[in-house]
């Protein structure tokens, strides 16, 4: 697994604006495109009559005699149409949304997950046609932007939150930047991934039929970038409702 922490080169998406005390923070912001690539993903081929598995290009080879290539799709349809897109968003760190009263400042530790699992790294590397150690360089070369491809770890940080002035309430929370690599169809949605059938010319075996599918079309990369946001709001004055007095009863 690549243990190098990458330095981000792209711009950051805008953080949410805390609008009021009653504002409900989203679990994440809308992803913002950072870059796209014309690279193609490899399909996971699983032989239908043998215990053979291999990643092969998703486009039919012009020379089907080459090893490790896709010979055809049985349905006669072309490969999926998609664009590999690197985008980013802010994720609200769970249990950090806090309303702080005057005199109620605090210190607290919060734990976040950074990086991706070894399984995710292995799968994505195979789909992109590189060794695990080359995943970071591949993404940097394809998108001209770096993401955190380090092994998944837990990081704990202590935060000190001050109290607002008297008569105010402070709304405070933490956001984590998350990058993601997605395969988007022409409508901007993650491309569908039905299992297809086709013939594969295996690297170590003869040609045979296989089940074909993409293993990972949506990979998240939780980064080390954690940002606190806060906003102070005046406490609404209590409204006094006047007591209604009964009119005197007049008697003759």
pTM: 0.86
pLDDT the model gives residue 71: 98
Domain count, the chain: 1
Asked whether residue 90 is domain-assigned, the answer is yes
Bridge partners, 70 (sequence order)? 200
Asked whether residue 248 is domain-assigned, the answer is no
Asked whether residue 21 is domain-assigned, the answer is no
> How far apart (Å, rounded) are the C-alpha atoms in residues 167 and 236?
9
pLDDT the model gives residue 98: 97
Tokens 């349905």 belong to residue: 75
Asked whether residue 89 is domain-assigned, the answer is yes
pLDDT the model gives residue 147: 86
List, for residues 16-75, the tens digit of each pLDDT value.
999 999 999 999 999 999 999 999 999 999 999 999 999 999 999 999 999 999 999 999
User: Cβ–Cβ contacts within 10 Å for residue 109, how many?
Assistant: 8
Reference 198, options 30, 32, 48; nearest CA is 48
Asked whether residue 1 is domain-assigned, the answer is no
Asked whether residue 138 is domain-assigned, the answer is yes
Tokens 């013939």 belong to residue: 199
Helix (H, G, I), strand (E, B) or coil at 213: strand
Identify whether the C-beta of residue 222 lies closer than 8 Å to the C-beta of residue 148.
yes
The burial of 69, by beta-carbon neighbours within 10 Å (0-12 exposed, 13-18 middle, 19 or more buried), is given as buried
What residues make up the domain containing 174? 32-234
> How far apart (Å, rounded) are the C-alpha atoms in residues 116 and 26?
23
Asked whether residue 18 is domain-assigned, the answer is no
pLDDT the model gives residue 1: 38
pLDDT the model gives residue 5: 38
pLDDT the model gives residue 10: 58
Asked whether residue 12 is domain-assigned, the answer is no
**Residue numbers in the chain where pLDDT is lower than 50:** 1-7, 244-252
């Amino acid at each position: 697994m690549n243990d190098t922490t990458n330095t981000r080169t792209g711009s950051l998406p805008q953080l949410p604006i805390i609008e009021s005390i009653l504002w409900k923070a989203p679990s994440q912001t809308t992803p913002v495109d950072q870059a796209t690539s014309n690279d193609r993903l490899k399909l996971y081929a699983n032989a239908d009559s043998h215990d053979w598995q291999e990643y092969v290009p998703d486009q039919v080879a012009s020379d089907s005699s080459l090893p490790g290539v896709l010979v055809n799709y049985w349905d006669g349809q072309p490969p999926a149409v998609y664009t590999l897109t690197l985008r980013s968003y802010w994720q609200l760190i769970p249990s950090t949304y806090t309303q702080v009263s005057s005199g109620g400042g605090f210190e607290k530790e919060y734990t976040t997950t950074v990086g991706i699992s070894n399984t995710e790294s292995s799968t994505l590397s195979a789909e992109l046609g590189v060794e695990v150690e080359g995943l970071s360089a591949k993404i940097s070369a394809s998108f001209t932007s770096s993401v955190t491809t380090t092994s998944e770890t837990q990081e704990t940080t202590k935060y000190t939150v001050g109290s607002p002035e008297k008569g105010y309430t402070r709304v405070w929370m933490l956001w984590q930047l998350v990058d993601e690599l997605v395969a988007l169809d022409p409508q901007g949605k993650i491309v569908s991934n039905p299992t297809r059938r086709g013939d594969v010319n295996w690297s170590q075996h003869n040609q045979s039929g296989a089940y074909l599918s993409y293993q990972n079309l949506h990979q998240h990369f939780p980064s080390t970038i954690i940002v606190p946001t806060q906003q102070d709001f005046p406490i609404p004055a209590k409204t006094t409702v006047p007591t209604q007095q009964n009119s005197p009863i007049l008697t003759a």
